[in-house]
Amino acid sequence: MKSISIYHLPALFLIGMIFGCASSSHLPMSERIRVNQIGYYPSAKKIAVVNSDDATEFSIYTSDQKTKLFTGKLSEPLSASYSKKNYRQADFTSITQPGSYVIAVPGVGSSYPFEIKANVHEEVAKASIKAFYYQRLSAPLPEPYAGKWHRPAGEPDDSVLIHPSAASPGRPSGSVISSAKGWFDAGDYNKYIVNSGITMGTLLSAYEDFPEYYKPLKLNIPESTNAVPDLLDELLWNLRWMLTMQDKDGGVYNKLTNARFDGMIMPDKATTPRYVVQKGTAATLDFAAVTAQASRIFKRYSIELPGLSDSCLSASRKAWEWAVKNPKVEYDQNAMNKQYDPDITTGGYGDKDFTDEFIWAAIELYVTTRDVSYYKAVDLQPDSNWLLPAWPQVRLLGYYTLLRFENELTDFPAEDKKSIETQLIRFADRLLGQKQVSPFSSVMGGAKKDFIWGSNSVAANQGIALVQAFRITKNKTYLNAALLNLDYLLGRNGTGYSFVTGYGAKATLHPHHRTSIADGIKAPVPGLLAGGPNPGMQDKCMYDSSVPDEAYSDTDCSYASNEIAINWNAPLVYLTGAMEALQQQF
Ligand code: G3I
Ligand code: 9MR
């Protein structure tokens, strides 16, 4: 890649301020200039990309386009890996002066406005957590907390039917349990343990990695006045639900669901019968991991939440024991439907391989209890094939935990520690390697396989892996790359959208999210991360492009590219929180 030259900025800035440079004559906004639409930290890397064959120059103006601060040279054209369009980079890292700006490119137009300032991602970091509040079931969302998105309670889930697939001696088919609270999963109103597992693990890890950042963070939720940090209060809403999903024998139901997806209605209008469905090994182990991790975190809050930590730990142990006795119970929805009625056609989250879930649960139990028998119960590193966390792939969550506590774990063998650290660095270096091929300068998009259903969670989870590598090496290359992936999510990408509802001049407006569709309010519920480009286009909706990094449809039809989901928002929470917490390092 050719180096990008910029004029001597401080001098130019000074000249601009003294003489007040000419206005750009208000170039029209052009979506061909891609920026992080929220903004940049003063001392961080700042890149925009411009889709142009022939432009050579760019200028930075104040966002009213009245004052030009400087002019710089665009890079040579870089051909995008999939669309083959020409993009040129504008590197304006040297601008450190806080303010609100646009980039203007003659013949192209001006960019969406963005800011340069400290704490620039604070609002989006908070909104990404508050988004979970908007997903709460079983309680109304009053206006003081929910603003214009206030609404009545959805699904009380206080009398949920035991589906025949879930019948057990104490709980025959058709009997009723209470399984209230929780977040609804995504655009649909169902609650799935497997997907809650990675979501909760990611949120709890954000807290464990950055407690000093999260402790004072206020989200304006009903619990904001208590002594528990708001992030923990919010995830407690889902934890309380998860705890109800364990049968008396320790096994955990895969999901709480209606038989089929609701129409596009508000949650209080969704009143069809709800079932808990079949226990399974993946759900039970994910539950064991989450409750073990929650137990050690909530131990510090035993005055505010008496007994919670102990209940979590005993639930976790029981779940582990069930899974050891039932190590291969797959959730195969089609097979289940052949055997039982009614048929269940909502999300499957059907995983077939439980190796990673065993490793994650064993590690969380070991770290919480310091009982080395959990650690020894699994082959910790069955292979060196590291895969980014995703709902069917949770092994890395366990490794992150081991590294987080490595200095406190007296029984953690030095060779295991060394080998996990080495593998993590190798993994992060592989991610950095992909970055070279993307004109967007992000690791995200460097490989075609990044563009799966929920690809934006790939970008966020890559960011987390890079933050983990930074934590153990203190090498800022990883941290810088993590921030560039956040830039990707907030607008510097092949589509030009900021994928977080409510944040960015051109942000996702029409997510496949029943509440946003049915509430009669123009603006979608804020802080939600859209799934993102997915050339699979399984929803058969209208897409502007089928190119991997452009195959995105901002229509509420598009569940394959424009749904939202808790397991996608959680890594956004982590990544935005980490960038805010670590911003002094840039
Ligand atoms: O398992 C194969 C793997 O072997 C292969 O290498 C890979 C290649 O792409 O595909 C893997 O399967 C994919 C699977 O996710 C696991 O990643 C499927 O192609 C893909 O269609 C599937 O997408 C899932 C989608 O449901 C459809 O089942 C998404 O991950 C998952 O996030 C999404 O979840 C839905 C819930 O079911 C219902 N609630 C909304 C939620 C979000 O859309
Ligand atoms: O709304 C559903 C969404 O939450 C799921 O992720 C998606 C895939 O399972 O399915 C959506 O529901 C659609 C169904 O699968 C097919 N008929 C249209 C439904 C709503 O668009």
The pLDDT, as a whole number, for residue 22 is 47
Q: Which atom of ligand 2 is nearest to the CA of 185?
A: 4
Residues of the chain within CATH 1.50.10.10 domain(s) are 140-412, 416-586
Is the CB–ligand 2 distance for residue 563 below 6 Å? yes
Closest-approaching ligand to the CA atom of 186: 1
Closest-approaching ligand to the CA atom of 563: 1
Q: Which atom of ligand 2 is nearest to the CA of 264?
A: 20
Q: 303-335: string of b/e by CB count within 10 Å (b at 16+)?
A: eebeebbebbbebbbbbbebbeeeeebbbebee
Is the CB–ligand 2 distance for residue 556 below 6 Å? no
CA 538 to ligand 1 centroid distance, Å: 10
Question: Which residues form the pocket of ligand 1, taking CB atoms under 6 Å from any ligand atom?
Answer: 185-188, 347-348, 392, 452-454, 559, 563, 565
Q: What is the mean pLDDT of residues 182-199?
A: 98
**Pocket perturbation via mutation, ligand 2, pick of 542, 555, 559, 562 by most ligand atoms within 8 A of CB:** 559
For 402-451, the DSSP string reads: HHHTTTT-TTS-HHHHHHHHHHHHHHHHHHHHHHTT-TT-SSTTSSGGG-
Topology of domain 416-586 in CATH is: Glycosyltransferase (1.50.10)
The pLDDT, as a whole number, for residue 436 is 77
Mean pLDDT of the chain: 95
Out of 209, 512, 513, 519, the active site residue is 512
**Tens-digit pLDDT profile for residues 380-434:** 999 999 999 999 999 999 999 999 999 999 999 999 999 999 999 999 999 999 9
Topology of domain 140-412 in CATH is: Glycosyltransferase (1.50.10)
Question: Does 209 score more than 70 pLDDT?
Answer: yes
Q: 190 near 347, Cβ under 8 Å?
A: yes
The pLDDT, as a whole number, for residue 21 is 46
Q: 31 near 96, Cβ under 8 Å?
A: no
Check: pTM over 0.85? Answer yes or no: yes
Using CA positions, which residue lies closest to atom 16 of ligand 1?
392
For 199-247, the DSSP string reads: HHHHHHHHHHH-HHHHTT-----TTTTSSS-HHHHHHHHHHHHHHHTB-
Question: Does 46 score more than 70 pLDDT?
Answer: yes
Instruction: Name which CATH class applies to 6-116.
Output: mainly beta
Residues of the chain within CATH 2.60.40.10 domain(s) are 6-116
The pLDDT, as a whole number, for residue 24 is 52
Per-residue confidence band for 154, with pLDDT thresholds at 50, 70 and 90? very high
Using CA positions, which residue lies closest to atom 14 of ligand 2?
261
Using CA positions, which residue lies closest to atom 19 of ligand 2?
261
Q: Which atom of ligand 2 is nearest to the CA of 186?
A: 4
Out of 155, 230, 549, 563, the active site residue is 563
**Tens-digit pLDDT profile for residues 547-562:** 999 999 999 999 999 9
Q: What is the mean pLDDT of residues 59-67?
A: 94
CA 545 to ligand 1 centroid distance, Å: 21
Closest-approaching ligand to the CA atom of 557: 2
| CA-closest candidate to residue 149, choices 505, 554, 513 | 513
CA 53 to ligand 1 centroid distance, Å: 37
Q: Reply yes or no on whether 268 is catalytic.
A: no
CA distance linking residue 404 with residue 412, whole number of Å: 12
Closest-approaching ligand to the CA atom of 392: 1
State how far the alpha carbon of 419 is from the alpha carbons of 31, 355, 414, 422, in Å: 45, 19, 9, 5
Out of 188, 364, 539, 556, the active site residue is 188
The pLDDT, as a whole number, for residue 437 is 76
Q: Reply yes or no on whether 54 is catalytic.
A: no
Q: Which atom of ligand 1 is nearest to the CA of 186?
A: 40
CA 559 to ligand 2 centroid distance, Å: 6
Q: Which atom of ligand 1 is nearest to the CA of 349?
A: 37
Q: Reply yes or no on whether 357 is catalytic.
A: no
The Cα diameter of the chain in Å comes to: 83
Question: Does 1 score more than 80 pLDDT?
Answer: no
Q: 43 vs 437, which has greater pLDDT?
A: 43
Per-residue confidence band for 503, with pLDDT thresholds at 50, 70 and 90? very high
Q: 397 near 204, Cβ under 8 Å?
A: no
Q: What is the mean pLDDT of residues 117-131?
A: 98
The pLDDT, as a whole number, for residue 435 is 84
**Tens-digit pLDDT profile for residues 412-427:** 999 999 999 999 999 9
CA 119 to ligand 1 centroid distance, Å: 35
CA distance linking residue 74 with residue 91, whole number of Å: 8
Q: Reply yes or no on whether 356 is catalytic.
A: no
Percentage above 90 pLDDT, the chain: 94
The secondary structure of the chain in percent helix, strand, coil, rounded to multiples of 5, reads 40, 15, 45
Per-residue confidence band for 66, with pLDDT thresholds at 50, 70 and 90? very high
